[in-house]
Amino acid sequence: MSDGLRASVENSWRELGDIDRALDRGEITEHGWYAAVLAVVEPAYLGADNPQAQSGHSGNPARWRQARRLLVDALPGNCDVLDVGCANAHLMESLVDWAAEDGLVVEPYGVEISIPLADLARRRQPRWSHRIWTANVLDWQPPRQFDVVRTGLDYVPPPRRADLVAHLLEHVVATGGRLVVGVFNEESGRDILEREVRSWGYQIAGRASRAHRHPALSYKAFWIDAARR
């Protein structure tokens, strides 16, 4: 992979690679991993002056749409959607609007590990304040379950990513619901993350992708349908 391509994939999350390596070498604990990630995320998001950047995205509204609207492809119909790592709630807002363009009604919910970011989300969207919880999703026991749960796998330390998928499917996704992983940037012809999740024993029920501004990359998401229990 060229340096330019690597930079586009990793973007501001490069610093997070150092945190993963520190955990791997035993220099920090898992608790320290979350603290170190938040020490990167909170100042960047809370110091931003636009809603995309307060959600960790460096582009303008058009690029935000290109990078995130593909999640509408994952919606099975009218549904409630939990955004894991909802940051300032901008994806919650955007999903409602984009789904409506396709004639769908989305009821958005969020969970966020950062206390100040969850507070920001509630301040920006007071009508949803009771739907935004503050928790580490990995050990969160939700008060209800959701038709669709969207997550990133990089919200937990690398050795806990399979545990995150298992926890979400067992405790957070409703019976017959859907777990959506993404959006993430990856080389277009290579489904590395999807292959890893399949290696944990899950079937991928569907996927969506869109062109990235770097010609070798795509914005991607894929999903797993929860068994009917």
Ligand X SMILES: C[S@@+](CC[C@H](N)C(=O)[O-])C[C@H]1O[C@@H](n2cnc3c(N)ncnc32)[C@H](O)[C@@H]1O
Q: Which residues bind ligand X (CB under 6 A)?
A: 41, 55-56, 68, 83-87, 91, 111-114, 117, 136-138, 155-156
CB 113 → ligand X: shortest distance, Å?
A: 4
56 vs 177, beta carbon nearer ligand X: 56
Structure letter (DSSP) for residue 163:
H
Least spacing, CB of residue 228 vs ligand X, in Å: 27
Cβ distance to ligand X smaller for residue 91 or 224? 91
Shortest distance, CB of residue 6 to ligand X, whole angstroms? 19
- Name the minimum Å distance from CB 2 to ligand X: 24
Q: Select 43 or 77, whichever has its Cβ closest to ligand X.
A: 43
β-sheet bridge partners, residue 151:
181
Helix, strand counts (H, E) of the chain: 8, 7
Neighbour tally for 228: CB within 10 Å: 8
CB of 200 to ligand X, least distance (A): 18
Nearest distance, CB of residue 68 and ligand X, angstroms:
6
Task: Give the strands of the sheet with 146-151, arranged side by side.
Answer: 132-134, 106-112, 79-84, 146-151, 173-187, 217-225, 206-211
Q: Any idea what DSSP says for residue 168?
A: I
Q: Quick one: 114 or 218, whose CB is closer to ligand X?
A: 114
User: Residue 61 or 176: which CB sits closer to ligand X?
Assistant: 61
Query: Which among 189, 156, 143, 6 has a CA at the least distance from the CA of 85?
Result: 156
Report the candidate in 42, 132, 56, 36 with the shortest Cα–Cα distance to residue 92: 132
Beta-carbon contacts of 14 under 8 Å, excluding residues fewer than 6 positions away, are 7
Give whichever of 7 and 176 is closer to ligand X, judged by the CB atom.
7
CB of 181 to ligand X, least distance (A): 11
Q: Bridge partners of 80?
A: 107
Q: Treating both helix axes as pointing N-terminal to C-terminal, what angle do 14-24 and 3-10 enclose, rounded to 10 degrees?
A: 80
Residue of this chain nearest to ligand X (CB atom): 85
Using the minimum distance from each CB to ligand X, give the nearer residue, 24 or 203.
24
- For the chain, the C-alpha Rg in angstroms (whole number) is 17
